[in-house]
Amino acid sequence: MALIETSIKINATPEKIFSYVSSLDSLKNEYVVGVEADGPVKLGTKIKTKVKAMNGVENVITSEVIAYEVNKLFGTKTFAAPPASDVVSTYILEADGSGTKVTMQTEAVLVPAGMPSMPGMEDMMKKQMVAGYEAALAALKKKLEG
């Protein structure tokens, strides 16, 4: 299992950031056509996210809140159908002067058993994921800093 991690400083309080990243609204984007939870978002909450691929096919992604420490930690485990593997994603919030250091961590099997692989493939996938998470954190910073 690979650990992918990146951080950014956001000029907002841990409370403001936690409120956003732990909300269902934070899951919405141009590909998400629906989000529902089996109750209030807290440890153990199951979340179903309906996404629409570019080819128009809709899929439902199921996840569960597995880390929930108000204003400090929010993590989910997303369940994947084989051959893909489950993914654990966590936001870690640390007060940092006038703002908050936000660390995004993901644990995933980048090349699941049975999938074709070639030398360097895992490193390439990891770099792509880090770039995507850096973009996501930059967008979060822009949204929360106004």
**Topology (CATH) of 2-145:** Alpha-D-Glucose-1,6-Bisphosphate; Chain A, domain 4 (3.30.530)
Residue 85: count of CB within 10 angstroms of its CB: 18
Nearest to 27 by CA among 136, 138, 127, 146: 136
Give the percent of the chain with pLDDT over 70: 94
- Angle at the Cα of 20 (from 17 to 25), degrees rounded to 5? 165
- Going 41 to 22 to 109 to 114, the CA torsion angle's sign is positive
Residue 62: what pLDDT?
94
For residue 74, what pLDDT is reported?
Answer: 97
Largest CA distance in the chain: 48
* Count of CA atoms in the C-beta half-sphere (13 A) of 18: 18
Q: What average pLDDT does the segment 31-38 reach?
A: 91
Query: Which of 22, 76, 26 minimizes the C-alpha distance to 46?
Result: 76
Q: Mean of the pLDDT values across residues 127-137? A: 91
pLDDT for 116 beyond 70? no
Domain chopping of the chain, boundaries: 2-145
SS3 46: strand
* DSSP label at residue 82: T
For residues 66 and 3, give the distance between their C-alpha atoms in angstroms, rounded to a whole number: 17
| Confidence tier at 112 by pLDDT (50, 70, 90) | low
Per-residue model confidence as pLDDT tens digits over 47-104: 999 988 878 888 898 999 999 999 999 999 999 877 678 899 999 999 998 899 999 9
Helix (H) or strand (E) holding 102, with range, is strand 99-108
Q: What is the gyration radius of the CA atoms in the chain, in angstroms?
A: 16
Q: What pLDDT was estimated at residue 96?
A: 93
